[in-house]
Amino acid sequence: MPFDGAFLHCMSNELMDALDCHVDKIYQPSKEELVFLLRKKGFVKRLLINIKSGSTRVQFTENKFENPEKPPMFCMLMRKHLLSGKLIRITQPDLERVLIFTFSSMNEMGDIQELQLICELLSGSANIILANSDFKIIDCLRHSDIESSTRLLLPGATYTLPPRQEKLNPLACEFKKIEEHLKTATLLQTIDGFSPLICREVEENNNLLKIINKLEDGGVPTLVLKPDGSPLDYSFTEITQYGDSYENKIFNSFSSLLDEFYTSKDITNRINQNARDIIKLITNLKARTERKLALRLNDLKKCENREDLRIYGELIKANLHLIPQGVSFAEVPNYYDEDLKNIRIPLNPAISPSANANKYFKDYKKTYTAEETLLKLTEGDKEELIYFDSVLESIGRCRDLSDINEIREELSEAGYIKQQANRKKQKPKNEFKEFTSIEGYKILVGKNNRQNDYLTTVIADKGDLWFHTKNIPGSHVIVFCSGNEVSNETILQAATLAAQNSKAQNSTQVPVDYTPIKFVKKPNGAKPGMVIYTTNKTVYINPKGDALI
């Protein structure tokens, strides 16, 4: 994404509003993110510094972040040196993707000192570095490798800027000089701070001077939207290279632009990162259960012919006087056949015909017992696979870390993961998704299996309507109608919510069952979220037809 030097120049101008702010709080929501709460009279802003690959940026943000219970060591270091410090300067060396925040703070001896918080927003090697006024590094988020790195980024080393490319700063040189260089080099090789996106825009429209002037004026926060309305790119100038089907959306600030562009992506990345161990565990358990089920189904298939064993035993017993000792087979009339055709029965010549008959009876009983056991085991395997799918599906709908922790708690209670030491069991948050039907009825949607259970078995009344996708993992949806008859519009709305909050959310024809709560039961010992229901009706929904969420 084009968080280039030119865009950073526009952003740094916006960040100047924070000058003279004091650092009120410092958080580190994840390994590669820092959030500073900056405050002065009439001004309170969160400053986000993100060095994650693909999300590298610095901005004001309106988003709130969930922070770890124990702050990381780098966060503690930031608090030690910068908490209550005053932001006195923001500088960007030329159009480099480096921004330096200078703070005035008091050290342990009570002396005022200047500290440099250096944000290197380079793709693939982004970093956050804290240095003193002489640019001696106090610490950095990512340390360099002493043997292979061209720059030493370690505590005690002197900070140096990343190696510069021999390019022209369009804000500091004459336009004629740029034109001279463009005779022998491409725009990307000539202009400092311009991403490939901006270079393509200039080459397509021949508007270099216009874009440089726009950059000098502070730029225009522009989000490029795909035909389906989803974000594609952003820039400090309008982008036309994608054609008329792509729309430019203008924002009031660069920070609000970045919030809209990255919020959904950051939430997904954060959820996936924190749920990585759960996803791996459930995926492995699912694969193992699928293998067990395949083996058991194969064994079950062998039990299909168990009646032959009983028939062999009875035919041998009925013809003992005709079967000599020590033969490897017996050919006797099959009185189970209408035509009494002869049947050849394999025998063990080492034992008597009577013992062969008893062995067939014994194998028949063993196979009968095995079939009963295998049927129960395969049903259990199938239930587990449905449950694993429901867990993976609910992870995909998580929106914050507390949702992940609730799923972790659910798996712990079910015995799939160990309860963490010193961690108290949490009750379901019960922060359901809430909607109102066209008739004014409240509609609640569970986010995970624990919430589904609580919503269906505790909160809902027997007269309320229950919705769920047919044989597809998803949320329980309740229309709180207290037994009143509801309109088709309400039924379709609730069914659409059930389809949209299910594994089939991207399908076009999703069956959704619904029935009064009194016909929904949770069997003893059933997995979280698992219920049985009767007297249901089914509607077919296109989840994308009415985008309620």
Sheet of strand 537-541: strand arrangement = 433-436, 442-445, 477-480, 465-469, 510-516, 537-541
**Residue closest to 388 by CA, chosen among 288, 458, 505:** 288
Which 3 state secondary structure label does DSSP give 513? strand
Position 547 scores a pLDDT of 40
Any residues with CB less than 8 A from the CB of 326 and at least 6 apart, and which? 349
Position 292, amino acid: K
Helices (H) and strands (E) in the chain, counts: 13, 22
Please give the pLDDT value at position 227.
Answer: 84
Q: DSSP secondary structure string, 140-193?
A: ESSPPPTTT-SS--STTSBP-PPPPPS-B-TTTS-HHHHHHHHTTS-HHHHBTT
DSSP states of 306-344? HHHHHHHHHHHHHTGGGS-TT-SEEEEE-TTSTT--EEE
- Smallest CA-to-CA distance from 91 within 12, 192, 37 is with 12
Whole-Å CA distances, 212 to 10, 190, 250, 460:
12, 13, 19, 62
DSSP assignment of 390-436: HHHHHHHT--SHHHHHHHHHHHHHTTSSPPPTT----------EEEE
Backbone dihedral region for residue 206 (phi beyond 0: left; psi -120 to 50: alpha; all else: beta): left
Q: How far is residue 303 CA from its own chain's centroid? A: 43
Q: Which of 388, 383, 332, 381 is nearest to 360 (CA)?
A: 332
pLDDT score of 429: 55
Domains, in order of start, for the chain? 5-140 (2.30.310.10), 175-273 (no CATH), 279-394 (1.10.287), 433-541 (no CATH)
Structure tokens at 3: 């968080």
Spatial contact of 131 and 144, defined as CB atoms under 8 Å apart = no
Interatomic CA distance for residues 434 and 228, integer angstroms = 26
Residue 519 CA to its chain's centroid (Å):
34
Q: Which residues 6+ apart lie within 8 Å of 383 measured at CB?
A: 526, 527, 530
Q: Which residues of the chain have pLDDT under 70?
A: 1-2, 147-149, 264, 419-430, 545-549
CA dihedral of residues 404, 407, 413, 416 (deg, nearest 10): -90
Full-prediction pTM beyond 0.75? no
DSSP label at 447?
S
The pair phi, psi for residue 301, each rounded to 5°, is: -65, -35
Task: Give the angle 499-501-506 at the CA atoms, nearest 5°.
Answer: 60
Q: What is the pLDDT of residue 517?
A: 96
The whole-number pLDDT of residue 516 equals 96
Q: Are 482 and 458 in contact (CB under 8 A)?
A: no
Q: How far apart are the first and last CA of the chain?
A: 27
**SS3 call for 238:** coil
- How far is residue 387's CA from residue 147's CA, in Å, rounded to a whole number? 50
84 backbone φψ class: left, alpha, beta (φ>0; ψ -120 to 50): left
| 33: helix, strand or coil | strand
Burial of 104 (0-12, 13-18, 19+ CB in 10 A): middle
- Residue-level pLDDT at 421: 53
Q: Give the SS3 label for residue 23.
A: strand
Nearest to 504 by CA among 537, 459, 471: 471
By residue count, the chain amounts to 549
DSSP 8-state code for residue 124:
T
pLDDT of residue 426: 52
